[in-house]
Structures are given as C-alpha cells and as structure tokens.
Structure 1
Amino acid sequence: MTKNIFILLLFPFQLLFAQIDILSNFPKGYTPEEVGERLAYRFETEYILQNRKWVSYSDIFTWSGAIQYAAVTKDKKLAKLLQSKFDSLFTVKKNLLPTMRHVDWNMFGSLPLTLYQKTKKKKYLELGLPYADTQWEVPENGKPAEKEWADKGYSWQTRLWIDDMYMITIVQTQAYKVTKDRKYIDRAAKEMVLYLDELQRPNGLFYHAPDVPFYWGRGNGWMAAGMTELLRNLPENHPDRQRIMQGYHTMMKSLLDYQTSSGMWNQLIDQPDCWAETSGSAMFTFAFIVGVKNGWLDAEVYGPAARKAWMALVSYINDKGAVREVCVGTNKKNSKQYYYDRPRNTGDYHGQAPYLWCTVALLEK
C-alpha cells in the first residue's frame, strides 16, 4: 500500500521530467550543440567591424548569444575569439561605439555587461554600466515628451513601440545582474508594466504601437523575449512580478493558439495567408523553452509546441549557417500591406540572434 502511494506521488514528477525531456534528444543536425556551433562560429568569422556607422542592436544580440553559447558549451576557443573581437572597440574601433541617445543604441551596454559576467574584467563593467544609467538621465537638449516620461519615473527613451521591451529591459536587467542594485530591475519592471497596460490586447498579443494596430511577428517577439528575460531575473517577491507573469501567460496562450501546423508563426501573427517569419518564431520558441524549464508553463502542453517550433526553425538554416526568411529591420507604419511586403533576408542578425538564444536555453540545466 505504501509503495503504491509512493508511485502515485512520484508519477506527476516523472511526467514533468518526461515533458521537459522532449526539449532534448534531438536528431542529428537538430541538436542545439550543432546549430549553436554553426551560427556562433559563422558570426565570429563573418562579422567584420568595418564599413559601419556603429555596432547595431542586431549585431549586439547575436554577439551576446554567441558568447552565452560559448559559455554553456565551455568552448574556450570561441569565447576567446569573441572577446578579442570586442576588445578592438576599446582601441582602433572605438568610433563604432553607439552614442547613448536612443533606445536602440543604449542597449549596447548589455553586451559588455554580459562579457563582465563571464570574465569579471572591470573594463567591461565600466563600459556597459553608463548605457544603463543614461537611459534614465534626460540629456540637456531633451525633448518635452522625453522629460515628461522621466518625470513619471520612466525612461526618457520611452516611445511605446513593442521593440523597446527588449531594448530597455535587457540592458537594465544585465546591470542588475552585475551590480545587484535593485534600481535597475525596478526600472525594467516599471517600464514593462507600462507597455503591458498600453499595448497588450485582450487576445494576449501586442500592437506594434498605439497607432499601428497590427500584430507584427518580430515586434511581438521582442516583447515575448523581454518578458522572459525579465521574469527569470525578477525577484520572486517583486511587487510587479505577478502583473508581468500575467501578461506573459496571456501572451503565451495566444501564441500557442496561433502557432501554425508547420510549427512556425507568421509575419503578421493572426493572418493565416501571411508568410512564415523566422526571427519572431525563434523569439517565441525561446519564450516557450524558458517557460517550460522554469515551470511557468505547462510542460505537457508547451514542451511539444516548443520542440515542434525548434524542429521547424532548424529547417530554415542553409548550408552556410544562415537563417532564411528574416524580416528586415522595420519601422512602424499604419498599413497592413506594409508588413506583408517587407523584404526577407538570409543571414540577417535579427534572425541569427534568437536562434542562438534558443540553443542556449535548450542547453541550460
């Protein structure tokens, strides 16, 4: 009798582990080790710091994804190569450092802060932290709208585009991780609640902006990934955690409903005749994987969905390690056709980056 009770009690845990295990044991060519190696070394080899105005956010997120992949696989050779490439920004390539004057530029600080976590070299901390601090320091020539946001306790870089909820939260979260200063995570959480309140619709998805009522794939991907990164760093007792988790769950349920039979998501998520887009799909997959592994999502439901998405995503990588069907960089526009007609790139770092995030999430214990 006692033995039978023990087996019954053990069964739910066995079921949970079985569902999480569905995010491993991939066939050859689909393992996160293989995919991550192809994409990370492709970035290290092909990314050249020249003919650029500055290092862009898509470069930075691919770079940090490769660094995290090198760390989780203990690939010291790759880690050294990526670090060495970055170090040129202290010397001969210093002119490529982004200014601290825009939401898409300040997020650069997340990269040196990631390097600081891996190396403990103070130069990376000193370079990265000002990018987090100046996001809350209005420039002398700041616009009235920027000052108004700051007066309310938000970043002066607030513009209510869903992209911002990765750009702002990632640098503030990284600053919190390295300093343990609560102000950084408080900032990120306060900002996230604002965007949830202003942009999330009853169906769980997000408009690109208040005046652009379309559910753009990668834009929603930035929001999904931003909430995911924030939640796994936000203290359990944080006053905003419940609100953010509610927004996350509502979005994940909607994404589950809109996942296509192929495992992907479309450029406009709710439009079945729109084309399957890889960067947004990879961001949603990342959010599913982390959610299952952290127990935020029902593993029995979201585990198979995440696996199906991953298998579909890998099929979009060509023989050169370049991801296909990536929507190009996209400003907001109140035109549905605009999103249908966006050009599609191969090897665009907007797509390479979230694929690397997925490999790391799959490999992390």
Structure 2
Amino acid sequence: MYKQVFTFFLLLSFQWLVAQESSLTKFPKGYTPLEVGKLIGYRFINAKHALHAGKWISYPETFYWNGSLKYAALSNDKKLLDSLEQKFQPLFTIESALLPIKNHVDLNMFGSLPLELYQVTRDKKYLELGLPYADTQWEVPENATPEQKAWAEKGYSWETRLWIDDMYMITIVQTQAYKATRDIKYLDRAAREMVMYLDELQRPNGLFYHAPDVPFYWGRGNGWMAAGMTELLRNLPVNNQYRARIMQGYQTMMKSLKEFQTPAGMWNQLIDEKDAWAETSGSAMFTYAMITGVKKKWLDAKEYAPVARKAWMAMVPYIDDKGAVSEVCVGTNKKNDKQYYYDRPRSKGDYHGQAPYLWCVDALLEK
C-alpha cells in the first residue's frame, strides 16, 4: 500500500515537473516577462537616439520603442507609457529633422511607431504622421530605378530588394496601417509580397538565404522572416487567399528551427553551423515566433512550448542588471562570404537585440 502511494506521488511530482518545464506562464524569479519587460523597457527612456546614417531615427530604435510601448500597455504601466509618449513629442517640433525620409525599406518602417502610438492613444496626429510611411512603400517616386519600377508593375513594393530583412520592415508598417485603419489593402499587399519572398528565398529545409546571391542562413536575417510571418498570421483573416501559403512557410521554418536549437537553448549566428557563436537577437525573434505560434495554436503546444521555454530560459542570462542584452550581432549587410558572418562584431545594449527581447515579453504577456 505504502509503495503504491509513494509511486502515485512520485508520478504526480514528475508530471508537475514536466508541466513546469513546458510552461509558458510560470517562470522563476528573474525570468518572468514582467520583470524582464520592466528592466528593458525602462532602459529606453533615457537612451540616446540610434540614427540611420547619422540623420534619422533608425529601424532598431523604432522597434525598441514599439516593443516598450506594447509592454507598457500590456502591463498597464501608465508611467512608462507616458514617458514613452513624451519622448516622442520633440519629433513633432525641435527634432522633426530626425523623422526618416520615405525612400528606403529601412526608413519607411518608421511609420509603424506613430501607428502604434495611435492605437494606444487614439490621437489622430500619430495616424497622420504614420500612414504616409505605409502608403509610400507602394507609391513609385519619379526617380525610381528601372528595377524598382519593374517590381511595382508586378504589384510589389518598389522598395523590394529580396533581402530577408525586408519582410519584417515591409510587413510591420503595413500590418500597423491595417490595424489603425482596418483597410484590408495593407494586409493584402504585404501578404502577397511575403508569398513572393517565400517562393524566392525559403529553402527546402525551411530556412532562408540572406539573399538569392548570398547562400547562408544568417540568424537575425532568418529572425526577420520568422517575425514577419508571425505578424502577418496574427492579422490575416482565416479566409485570406495568402494565409495558407504563409502558414506553410511559417510551420516549415519552425520545424527546422526546432531541430537547429543548440543544447543550451539558443540559435547560432549561422543557424546551421555548430561552431558559430550563439546570437541573442535572432534567438529572441525565433522565440517570439514560437511563443506566438503555441498561443495561437498554429504549433502543437506539447512539441513547441518546451522549445520556446528552453530558449527563453537561455536568453534571460544575457541581460545585465541595467537591462542591456549582450552577444548581439551588429547591423549587417549581405555579403557572399561565409566568414563575413562569423566575424561580425558582437555588441551589448544594441537596439537590434533590445527590441526582440521585448517582443518575447509581449507575446508571453498576451492572453
């Protein structure tokens, strides 16, 4: 009898341990999304601008701002929300010269920030500022190159480059425009663009070359694709003509990422190279995509929740007590040279890493 009771409680303990190891809701102290979000979100309040070409608000800063805003809203942190909004106000006046021009995929995505602020505050000045950034991705300028005009004639953005980075830059401003206006054209054109990128760049193993002429599986580049597909799938109606193809691309990628996760829980700078270094920004983007997929039931929870949890538990120790994430690959152009990716410098506190950590926080906090 005692042996049976002991066995029963041992089984319960084992089941509890397994549940804890796969849970995306219960974390030990120091690993909870509220703690991590507060640490990284508040770091941004007094942070300096990270400027593109020394002139305009850059895309990494935009994403850090967006992630902090969403965290503030999800955690009902009014102090942080007010501080983030106040930080934006000089861009209407004394810092207006820092507003990005609308002539490049990395610059137009800035519109996602005022569009996020509009959704949080419902103040129309943010909508009026943000929407032109989404619209001009499809409005061909007079000085467009023949190649850019050719993309536009096919119905794609004239800013198309077939770099995997693009499919977050384009997707995020278009999905934000949809959420702000409910005009389906923004979703449809971003989704059609995504399908074309999937057809051109995704390999049979589910991963993506950086570009057609750069056959390497760069970590953060693949992260942009994972996050971009996630954003579209979160918003595309079930009956949308592009949804099934994007879901196929997403699920194929997640299966591959599960297989390439390192024993420690991270993903490497070059995903398929075991001797490459563990890189935090790409790992965070993959984790965000998986957390969302589990919660939205796009992925089997028993199979993928433990993968996402393992990644999160591995990621958090890379944050110092000031909220700075280490082991972040610096901004990276494409290059047909594998050693180039191995040798990219690693940074600490780089906004490329701060932002996707907050995306994970936000995904964990969402119901």
Q: Which TM-score band (shorter chain)? A: over 0.9
Distance 1:44 1:195 in 2: 36
| Larger displacement relative to structure 2 (312-321 or 54-63) | 312-321
How far does the alpha carbon of each residue in 1:165-224 deviate from its partner, in whole angstroms, 9 at most, with x for none?
000000000001111111100011000000000000000000000000000000000000
Give the percent of matched residue pairs that are identical in Structure 1 and Structure 2: 72
Aligned residue pair count? 350
User: Structure 2: 5+ residue runs without aligned partners?
Assistant: 1-15
Counterpart for residue 101 of structure 2: 99
Distance 1:61 1:255 in 2: 23
Distance 2:22 2:125 in 1: 40
Which of residues 105, 122, 147 in structure 2 aligns to 1:120?
122
Q: Determine if the alignment matches structure 1 residue 237 to structure 2 residue 222.
A: no
Q: CA deviation at 1:45?
A: 2.0
Residue type of the alignment partner of 2:195: V
Q: Give me the TM-score of the superposition, normalised by structure 1.
A: 0.94
When residues 100 and 135 of structure 1 are mapped into structure 2, their CA distance, relative to the original with a 3 A threshold, is: same
Distance 1:31 1:338 in 2: 36
When residues 49 and 57 of structure 1 are mapped into structure 2, their CA distance, relative to the original with a 3 A threshold, is: closer
When residues 229 and 328 of structure 1 are mapped into structure 2, their CA distance, relative to the original with a 3 A threshold, is: same
Task: Give the conservation status (yes or no) of the 8 Å contact 1:279–1:350.
Answer: yes
Residue type of the alignment partner of 1:242: A
Distance 2:187 2:345 in 1: 36
How far does the alpha carbon of each residue in 1:43-95 deviate from its partner, in whole angstroms, 9 at most, with x for none?
11223488941100000000000000000000000000000111110000000
Task: Give the conservation status (yes or no) of the 8 Å contact 1:72–1:360.
Answer: yes
Distance 2:155 2:314 in 1: 42
Q: Determine if the alignment matches structure 1 residue 216 to structure 2 residue 218.
A: yes
Q: Determine if the alignment matches structure 1 residue 153 to structure 2 residue 155.
A: yes
Distance 1:54 1:336 in 2: 31
Q: CA deviation at 1:302?
A: 0.5
Q: CA deviation at 1:329?
A: 0.2
Counterpart for residue 283 of structure 1: 285
Q: Determine if the alignment matches structure 1 residue 82 to structure 2 residue 84.
A: yes
User: Structure 1: 5+ residue runs without aligned partners?
Assistant: 1-14
Distance 1:153 1:131 in 2: 18
Distance 1:288 1:183 in 2: 27
Q: Give me the TM-score of the superposition, normalised by structure 2.
A: 0.93
When residues 91 and 20 of structure 1 are mapped into structure 2, their CA distance, relative to the original with a 3 A threshold, is: farther
When residues 128 and 158 of structure 1 are mapped into structure 2, their CA distance, relative to the original with a 3 A threshold, is: same
Task: Give the conservation status (yes or no) of the 8 Å contact 2:49–2:61.
Answer: no
| Larger displacement relative to structure 2 (310-319 or 63-72) | 310-319
Task: Give the conservation status (yes or no) of the 8 Å contact 1:19–1:300.
Answer: no
Query: For 1:9-20, what aligned pairs fall within 5 Å after superposition?
Result: none
Distance 1:358 1:113 in 2: 20
